[in-house]
Amino acid sequence: MEKNINIVIAGLGTVGTATIKLLEKNKYIFSHKFGLKINIVGIFAKDKFKKRDFKKNKYKWFNDPIKMIEQKNVDTVIELIGGENGIPKKICYHALKSKKNLITANKALLAHEGYKLAKLAEQNEVKIGFEASVAGGIPIISTLKKSFNGIKINKITGILNGTSNYILTNMLEDKNEFNTSLKKAQTLGYAEQEPSNDLNGLDTLHKILILSTIAFNKKIDLKKITYSGIENLTKEDIFFADRLGFRIKLLGICCLEKKNIRIIIAPFLISKKKELSNVNNNLNAIIIDANNNNKTILVGEGAGGDPTSLAVVSDLMNISNNKENEFMYGITYKDLKKINISNNFSSNNNYFIRAKIYDKPGAIAAITTILKNFKISIKSLFQEQINKKIFNVVLLTHKCNKSSINPASIKLNNCHFVKEKAIIMQVLHV
């Protein structure tokens, strides 16, 4: 006998539409494999009259998402609007307060409100599914909660933003400037019309915070994490890195130490010989370093309607069959302990530095002197003329600490011959 599951869906964009189409397409599978009959008893979106890629007249439309949730027969609310405030926030809180299960892809909301939502879900004895919030088609949430349950995780390194990864790939392969690659990403649907959160590293920050909480069972203060993105990188940086044997990737990294968690979101140089350097276009990749030097690598589509909708439906199946981990983060809200946060690597690293400077006598000597004064030695250095007055100086340092790089970069940027603020990136050894 089939078990009836009544759901409502808020948000009918790319992911919401793909979710409805997937549910329509796989009714037979849900029935025969899971014994479930999924009934969509309400839909909501901001624009009722926008054309959608499904027959919306088949479903009951609500102009008020709260009234949609308050239907007595609703089991699960699926929120696919996105954003940490406004309607999405109201929907998620009201769903849990109404004792409805919640499924969401809203990483921004989870990063800001996740702990409160977890507490509310426990109080009302309902579940939250959020597989779709991180890395789209990669089942990283369930992997951490189930496959690594009871296994100590030391470090997570991830390419977690498909938009940035596509842009960096396109800049290299098609030799495009940043803005040209961004426009192409927007045309292909890989980037939003307002893509700042993808480009400045904030989206990656939201995702790595979620993963850190699950991996380390710690409560992490979002406001204490610094981040940087790719918006200031140029085609020159891509090609100079390539010349040195590297690829540039925007990474989110978290690692557990004795008294703190180190979380870093920034573009890194990675050797062309390493796995992560060959993850291109809109793909995401995550490396999990666990005890006994065990390394697990997961690669897949990080965004888009099809992979994300699969994650949404997977959550729905698990929750409906009571197979989902009881607690949002794998343990109770009360067991999540606060921990100090560091934004820097404790170990020494190589650094890539590119400075655009005016052609002045003694400029190169001055740069090398600055680095020498901060005990930074140079592994390789070359310069490339841009025009008669300006040239790029590119160098790769030997391993040094960030405590030396930071003051050295300030000193360098204050030099009268420096035209633009120098680009500085770490080399990641994975």
Which superfamily does CATH assign the domain made up of 3-137+309-332 to?
A: NAD(P)-binding Rossmann-like Domain (3.40.50.720)
Q: Is the pLDDT of residue 257 over 90?
A: no
Distance (Å) of CA 51 to CA 54, 61, 155, 181: 9, 14, 44, 28
Q: Is the pLDDT of residue 151 over 80?
A: yes
Q: Is the pLDDT of residue 1 over 80?
A: no
Domain-by-domain residue ranges, the chain?
3-137+309-332, 140-301+337-342, 351-428
Q: Which helix (H) or strand (E) holds 10?
A: strand 3-10
Count of CB atoms within 10 A of residue 413's CB?
Answer: 13
- pTM of the entire structure? 0.94
**Per-residue confidence (pLDDT) for residue 291, from 0 to 100:** 84
Q: Which residues are catalytic?
A: 207
Residue pair 375/338 in contact (Cβ under 8 Å)? The answer is no
* Average pLDDT of span 53-63: 93
Q: Is the pLDDT of residue 238 over 80?
A: yes
Q: Is the pLDDT of residue 347 over 80?
A: no
**Per-residue confidence (pLDDT) for residue 323, from 0 to 100:** 65
Q: Is the pLDDT of residue 225 over 90?
A: yes
Q: Is the pLDDT of residue 236 over 90?
A: yes
Query: Which value, to the nearest 10 degrees, does the dihedral of the CA atoms of residues 162, 163, 169, 175 take?
Result: 170
**Per-residue confidence (pLDDT) for residue 326, from 0 to 100:** 80
Task: Give the pLDDT band (50/70/90) at residue 343.
Answer: confident
- CATH fold label, 351-428: Alpha-Beta Plaits (3.30.70)
**Per-residue confidence (pLDDT) for residue 189, from 0 to 100:** 80
Q: Is the pLDDT of residue 298 over 70?
A: yes
Which superfamily does CATH assign the domain made up of 140-301+337-342 to?
A: Dihydrodipicolinate Reductase; domain 2 (3.30.360.10)
Q: Which helix (H) or strand (E) holds 34?
A: helix 27-34
Query: Which value, to the nearest 10 degrees, does the dihedral of the CA atoms of residues 108, 112, 114, 119 take?
Result: -150
* Average pLDDT of span 333-354: 87
CB-based contacts of 159: which residues, under 8 Å, 6+ apart? 165, 249, 250, 251, 276, 279, 283, 284, 285, 286, 302
**Per-residue confidence (pLDDT) for residue 397, from 0 to 100:** 96
Amino acid making up residue 344: N
**Per-residue confidence (pLDDT) for residue 305, from 0 to 100:** 87
d(CA 23, CA 132): 16
Residue pair 101/128 in contact (Cβ under 8 Å)? The answer is yes
> In the numeric block, which tokens belong to residue 426?
């770490």
> In the numeric block, which tokens belong to residue 76?
């699960």
